[in-house]
Amino acid sequence: MGSRKWAVEFTDNSSTPSTRDIPDPPGFTRVPHDQDDSTLSRQKKDAEANWKSQKAWEVAQAPFKNLMMMGFMMWMAGSTVHLFSIGITFSALWQPLSALQGVGKVFAPYKDSKVDLLAPKLLFIALNLGGMLLGVWKLNALGLLPTHASDWVSSLPPAREVEYSGGGIALH
């Protein structure tokens, strides 16, 4: 060390990393000197393509959460026609429609020659179409869809009601 009392020598005289007392930090891997840069770059590109594929699948499955939330909100809105139920229903129609218009933009960050985006895009489209079907079903449940000929032509009699309700107590 020398004659100085507080001097520290930082040179590493060991020939192999296994003789060192300090282990490598987590996530650090030593690269052998015989491995060339092309192998490293190929491994990096493969890891990046794997990451992009995984993220594309996560983005493709994201509408499922929205579908469940929207279904719960529609159930909570009830089956009567009022401002809240109509707003929720049109939101259920608008959100998937706007998502379907931007499919290309949603998956643009994950576009790569090694990543196949067809299956994630199809899943994304299918889940958003399911959301639109949920909105159309709610419109029908609210009675806002024209499903009978009398809804289009005013001279035709309206459709017969299939269900009647009544109440009261009959005293005998």
Sign of the Cα torsion 143, 149, 155, 156 reads negative
Quick check: pTM over 0.85? Answer: no
Q: Which residue has the tokens 């009392």?
A: 5
Residue 39 has pLDDT above 70, yes or no: yes
Residues 74-124 pLDDT 10s: 999 888 888 998 999 999 999 999 999 999 999 999 888 888 899 999 999
Label residue 44 by pLDDT band (50, 70, 90): confident
